[in-house]
A and B are shown apart, each in its own frame.
Chain A
Amino acid sequence: MNEHDEDRMKKLLQQALPPVEAEPEPARDLWPAMLRRLDAKQAAPAPIFWSWFDAALLAGLAVFAIFLPASIPVFLYYL
């Protein structure tokens, strides 16, 4: 695609999807909706976050257990 094609595509795009004018304000104050969102978040149980390290450790243990099933009782003993 050459520069002419690029300019042509830009013009076509601008005609199909004109820019949004200025910065229209929301029809309403969003603070009440914000408060509802924060209340809902606080009421919900805390999500469990898994780091990549947790996932890698678990995957490693699973692989280990598959290839060395005899190690399972040892793992269980240390749990």
Chain B
Amino acid sequence: MENGSNDLLNAFRQGSAEAFEAAFETLFHQHQHTVNGWILRIVRNPATAEELTVETFSRIYRAREHFQPSRGFEGWARRIATRAALDWLRTVRPETELPAEIPAPATADPAISSEIQRKIALAFQRLAPKLRVAATLAVIEELPHKEVADALGISVAAVKLRVFRALRTLRKDLQQQGITP
């Protein structure tokens, strides 16, 4: 995500109503795809990601007073998108849905049956949303801990702790199902 020009960001933050509307539309078109891609990584469902992209920009529209142009638009938008995705995950009941099929490289280990993979995916969905988001971004997406920390608005140490707790809880859940990881 590239930051918009300073004029654009200033117009968004403190421009007249007309300038603000124009700046918002420009920022939307500049960032909608990257925001959508970020949310898709968390929720893993294209239709939901689109809905949450609109929700994210709706929050951005209402929160312009809190925007600091000097800190750039990208990080701010990403934090709001992460919060929107987290709020959505809190409303979804676990074990009702499995993540949508998303094209990804074939890395599956043939020794691990599809049934075990399904159980792992379901157990992962039962994790607390804040643990799940940290593990999704840091383990599944292999993003740097710093980037995850910025998006979640927490420290790098807190990200590491959440990832550790997510993996430990997941392991216990699988062991209770008779699966020895």
Residue ranges of A at the interface with B (Cβ–Cβ < 8 Å): 1, 5-6, 8-31, 33-34, 37-38, 41
Known contacts A9-B170, A30-B36, A34-B58; A15 and B107 CB within 8 A of each other: yes
Say if the beta carbon of B74 comes within 8 Å of chain A.
no
* Interface of B: prevailing SS: helix
Chain B residue at minimum C-beta to C-beta distance from A35: B25
Identify which of B37-45, B65-73, B84-92, B146-154 touches chain A: B37-45
Q: Residues 5-42 of chain B: 1 if any A CB is under 8 Å from the residue's CB, otherwise 0?
A: 00000000000000000000100110011101110110
A17 to B124, CA, bound (A): 9
Say if the beta carbon of B54 comes within 8 Å of chain A.
yes
A31, B28: Cβ atoms closer than 8 Å: yes
B32, A21: Cβ atoms closer than 8 Å: no
Say if the beta carbon of B167 comes within 8 Å of chain A.
yes
B170, A13: Cβ atoms closer than 8 Å: yes
Closest CB in chain B relative to A62 CB, distance in Å = 30
Q: Give 30 CB contacts A-B under 8 Å.
A: A1-B171, A9-B171, A10-B139, A13-B139, A13-B140, A13-B170, A15-B107, A15-B117, A15-B120, A16-B116, A16-B117, A17-B120, A17-B136, A18-B108, A19-B104, A19-B105, A20-B40, A20-B41, A20-B141, A21-B105, A23-B33, A23-B38, A24-B37, A25-B33, A25-B37, A26-B33, A26-B36, A26-B50, A30-B28, A31-B28
Chain A residue at minimum C-beta to C-beta distance from B103: A21
A38 to B25, CA, bound (A): 12
Q: Residues 46-60 of chain B: 1 if any A CB is under 8 Å from the residue's CB, otherwise 0?
A: 100110011101100
A38, B58: Cβ atoms closer than 8 Å: yes
| Total cross-chain contacts (CB, 8 A) | 120
A5, B181: Cβ atoms closer than 8 Å: yes
Beyond A18-B108, A20-B40, A25-B33: 16 further Cβ-contacts under 8 Å?
A: A1-B168, A6-B167, A10-B139, A12-B120, A13-B135, A15-B108, A15-B117, A18-B104, A23-B34, A24-B37, A24-B102, A25-B37, A26-B53, A30-B36, A31-B32, A41-B58
